[in-house]
Homo-oligomer: A and B are copies of this chain.
Amino acid sequence: MTTVARQMHLKSRPTGIPQPSNFTIVSVKLPEVGEGEVEVRNKFMSLEPGMRLLMRDTAFHAPIYPLDAPLHGRAVGEVVRSRSPSFEPGDLVMSNRGWQEAFVAPAGELLKVKPYPSLSVESLLSAAGIRGLTAYVGLIRVAQLRAGDIVFVSAAAGTVGMVACQIAKLRGHTVIGSAGGAAKVAFLKEIGVDHVIDYKAEPDFAAALRKAAPNGFDVFFDNVGGSQLDAAFQTANNNARFALCGTIAGFNQTDLIPLYHSNLTILKRLRLEGYVVWDHQDLLPEFQRELSGWVVSGRFKSRESVEIGLERAPVALAKLFTGESIGASLVKLY
Contacts and interface: CB of A to CB of B under 8 A. Distances in A.
Contacts of A229: 262
Contacts of A265: 244, 272-274
Interface stretch (A146-154, A190-198, A252-260): A252-260
B272 A273 contact: yes
Contacts of A160: none
A265 B142 CA distance: 13
Contacts of A269: 273-276, 279
Contacts of A274: 264-271
Given A256-B261, A258-B258, A263-B225, A271 B273 contact: yes
Contacts of A267: 61, 274, 276
Interface residues of A, number: 30
A250 interface: yes
A263 B267 CA distance: 21
A39 B29 CA distance: 94
Contacts of A272: 265, 270-273
A246 interface: yes
Q: Copies per complex?
A: 2
Nearest to A260: B256
B258 A260 contact: yes
A247 interface: yes
A11 to B, nearest CB: 27
Contacts of A247: 263, 266
A266 B275 contact: yes
Contacts of A245: 266
Nearest to A53: B267
A229 B263 CA distance: 10
Contacts of A262: 225, 229, 259, 262
Contacts of A268: 274
B256 A263 contact: yes
Nearest to A279: B269
Contact of A266 (B246, B258, B259, B260): B246
Contacts of A61: 267
A264 B263 CA distance: 17
A329 to B, nearest CB: 20
Question: Which 5 pairs, one residue from A and one from B, show the smallest C-beta to C-beta distance?
Answer: A258-B258, A265-B274, A266-B274, A256-B260, A272-B272
6 contacts: A229-B262, A256-B263, A257-B260, A267-B276, A271-B273, A272-B273
